[in-house]
Amino acid sequence: MRHIDIHHLADNARFNRFHLGILAWCAVIIICDGYDLAVAGIALPSIMKSMGVTAQNAGFMVSSALFGMMFGAIFLGTIADRIGRPRAIAICLALFSVFTAAAGLTQDPYVFSAMRFLAGLGIGGVMPNVVAQMTEYSPRRIRSTMVTLMFSGYAVGGMLAALLGKGMIESYGWSSVFLAAGAPVVLIPFILKSLPESMPFLVKQNRLAELKTILANMEPGYTPQADDRFAVPAHDRAEGAPIGKLFQDGRGFSTVMFWIAFFMCLFMVYALSSWLAKLMAGAGYSLGSALTFVLVLNFGAVIGAVGGGWLADRFHIKYVLVGMYALAAVSITLLGYKVSTEVLYLLVGLAGASTIGTQIVTYAYAGQFYPAAARSTGIGWASGVGRSGAILAPIVIGTLVGMALPLEQNFVAIAIPAVIATIAVSLIRHGRSASAAAVKADSRAPAAA
């Protein structure tokens, strides 16, 4: 009889077509997710004109998706640890595709807001699930790189919406970009067939034949045998309430620190997304530069996410994040001062790298911190709490803009959360993380006995 440590196999597997397939599917899902979130902002001027709504009402229409994302991240992240991850991902994909398309069929602002709230449930719910999926099945030595590479699809989706939206809206009206968002529904059967289930979930369900097939694909050196027994570390066993696991084994304080970091980072992300173009226009830059600023911000995000993930696989991910949040504080503050256009674009790119990019690396760290049995739950709650920062940011910064403060004070207000996040991440107790426990276990036990 052999005792197989499933996480040891996953941690030490060589990257192959199995891993590439998961990375590709998760990236496609996140690109669709990013498009769905960004599309409302791209079409907003046309929606306001078509429906005859005020700027205040238009802001509520857009923010309704953010409210949905907050609830979706918490509840659809938690449910995945109970019904299985591919099913939860499929539910989220159906929600944001169907209801974003439905929003394109209405001319009523209240119905539109309701559709965007329901779409937001899926937009927010899919994030913790794909991060958990990618974390579990990535070899440890390239785990952060794979998670951040996958999650950079979020910024790609935003850029896709910005680039395609203008032409489609001019030719076919604003509804066209929403109807196009319904297309990913056709991917659901392929996702259910292609994405592997969580390994601890399969052990709990006693679906051992399925587990053996996954392990053989993940690590070709493993040959299934009839008498194989599969070991799951105690902290990874899917028993009890997943929410309670976030506060067990000394993780409670660090869980709160993750919540603070997510809140502060998403505050910065949505403050910049909502007000960067407006603030720069007020500083004397042409409104025609708005799209360029958005593209530079998102391009910086991709560089920051992939670069941050690469660094996190070579150095300690916690300290890489501390450095990235510190860079956010500096680069955002400097945006408020008069500089040359070239330096301004560099600062906007650095701001994108150290806010949107840093958020993606923070997702990667949360995925590595929590045990597999509560990974989707941990990421989902952190993301859900963080969404309250996303909801608050446009309101707070909008109020400051309305007070006609000097430009530098507006950017200092956006930068202060970066300082708080830097402190929060530095206080996370990495020794309590699942990744630290796995390293200790690997140093003591072989994969099979």
Domains and their CATH numbers in the chain = 3-195+242-437 (1.20.1250.20)
- The predicted model gives 156-161 an average pLDDT of 82
Q: Is the pLDDT of residue 176 over 50?
A: yes
The distance from CA 77 to its chain's CA centroid, rounded to whole angstroms, is: 12
pLDDT at 284: 66
How far is the C-alpha of 256 from the C-alpha of 113, rounded, in Å? 31
pLDDT per residue as tens digits for the range 303-327 = 898 888 889 888 888 999 999 999 9
Residue 47's nearest CA partner among 66, 62, 32 is: 62
For the ranges 2-11, 19-28, 350-359, the lowest mean pLDDT is seen at 2-11
If you average pLDDT over residues 105-134, what whole number do you get? 89
DSSP string, 155-221: HHHHHHHHHHHHHHHHHH-THHHHHHTTGGGGGHHHHHHHSPPPHHHHHHHT-HHHHHHHHHHH-TT
DSSP state of 249: T
Q: What is the pLDDT of residue 240?
A: 45
pLDDT at residue 396 in the model: 79
Six-digit token pair at 39? Answer: 């599309």
Task: Give the residue, 370 or 276, on which the prediction is more confident.
Answer: 370
Mean pLDDT, residues 345-349 taken together: 90
Q: At residue 384, does pLDDT exceed 50?
A: yes
Least confident of 226-235, 283-292, 387-396: 283-292
Q: How would you class 207 by CB atoms within 10 Å of its CB: exposed for 0-12, middle for 13-18, buried for 19 or more?
A: middle
Beta-bridged to residue 3, according to DSSP, are 229
Whole-number pLDDT of residue 238 = 47
What pLDDT, on a 0 to 100 scale, did the predictor assign at position 436?
Answer: 56
Q: Are 379 and 135 in contact (CB under 8 A)?
A: no
Q: Which residue has the tokens 């301004």?
A: 344
For residue 440, the model assigns a pLDDT of 59
Highest mean pLDDT, choosing among 134-148, 322-336, 393-407: 322-336
Contacts of 14 (CB under 8 A, 6+ apart): 139, 219
- Judge whether residue 11 has pLDDT over 80: yes
Question: What is the rounded CA–CA span in Å between residue 7 and residue 372?
Answer: 9
Q: What angle do CA 188, 130, 148 make, to 5 degrees?
A: 130
Query: Is 63 in contact with 143 (CB distance < 8 Å)?
Result: no
Q: What is the pLDDT of residue 424?
A: 94
For 361, half-sphere exposure in the C-beta direction (CA atoms, 13 angstrom radius) is 32
Angle at 365 between CA 360 and CA 368, to 5 degrees: 130
Give mean pLDDT, residues 136-159. Answer: 84
Of the chain, the percentage scoring pLDDT greater than 70 comes to 87
pLDDT per residue as tens digits for the range 425-442: 999 887 766 665 555 555
Residue 8 per-residue DSSP state: H
CA neighbours within 13 Å on the CB side: how many for 397?
29
**Lowest mean pLDDT segment, chosen from 123-137, 168-182, 234-248:** 234-248
> Where residue 443 falls among pLDDT bands split at 50, 70, 90?
low
Lowest mean pLDDT among 82-96, 145-159, 176-190: 145-159
